[in-house]
């Protein structure tokens, strides 16, 4: 339910709360795989990004982006093979002006898609790489 709310940009506070509860439950259960744990943490990080998109207070927006990066990097560490998590990391790197990181990871995701097949966010990754390439090459 939290993922649906986050994707639709609805009830983001509630969605983030639900995702945080999921993360907390994962911490309490060592039998949960890193794949599942990472996916749940990714949902929380993506929720912070979506909330930052609508936040008008600059300090709050920055705090949300910092939380998002922390969670998405944790998710990426746990699940290195999930291209959706990789895309979310590219987004946070772009939003926080870490363009070289966004470009490097974006290129890796494109190469991954060429090797094993496309994933749902591949066109978004291509667009992101096009946006950040000039910023890295300045």
pLDDT at 115: 87
My answer on whether 69 and 105 are in the same domain is no
DSSP structural state of residue 57: -
Q: Where is average pLDDT lowest: 37-46, 114-123, 125-134? A: 114-123
Question: Which tens digits make up the pLDDT trace of 57-102?
Answer: 999 999 999 999 999 999 999 998 889 999 999 999 999 999 999 9
pLDDT at 126: 95
My answer on whether 56 and 108 are in the same domain is no
Mean pLDDT calculated for residue range 14-37: 92
pLDDT at 38: 95
Query: How far apart are alpha carbons 128 and 122 in whole angstroms?
Result: 10
Decide: 106 and 122 in contact? Cβ < 8 Å. no
My answer on whether 75 and 87 are in the same domain is no
My answer on whether 50 and 113 are in the same domain is no
pLDDT at 105: 95
Which tokens is 87 given?
């895309």
For 94, the domain range is 81-138
My answer on whether 138 and 101 are in the same domain is yes
My answer on whether 42 and 96 are in the same domain is no
Is the pLDDT assigned to residue 138 strictly greater than 80?
A: no
pLDDT at 78: 93
Query: How far apart are alpha carbons 86 and 80 in whole angstroms?
Result: 8
End of a domain among 28, 46, 79?
Answer: 79
My answer on whether 64 and 94 are in the same domain is no
pLDDT at 5: 82
How many domains does the chain fold into? 2
């Amino acid at each position: 339910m939290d993922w649906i709310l986050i994707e639709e940009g609805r009830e983001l506070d509630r969605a983030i709360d639900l995702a945080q509860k999921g993360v907390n439950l994962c911490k309490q259960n060592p039998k949960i795989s890193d794949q599942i744990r990472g996916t749940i943490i990714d949902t929380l990080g993506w929720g912070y990004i979506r909330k930052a998109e609508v936040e008008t207070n600059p300090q709050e927006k920055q705090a949300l982006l910092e939380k998002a990066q922390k969670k998405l990097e944790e998710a990426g560490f746990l699940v290195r093979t999930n291209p959706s998590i990789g895309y979310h990391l590219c987004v946070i790197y772009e939003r926080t002006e870490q363009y070289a990181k966004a470009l490097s990871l974006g290129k890796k995701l494109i190469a991954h898609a060429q090797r094993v097949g496309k994933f749902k966010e591949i066109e978004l990754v291509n667009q992101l790489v096009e946006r950040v390439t000039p910023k890295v090459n300045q």
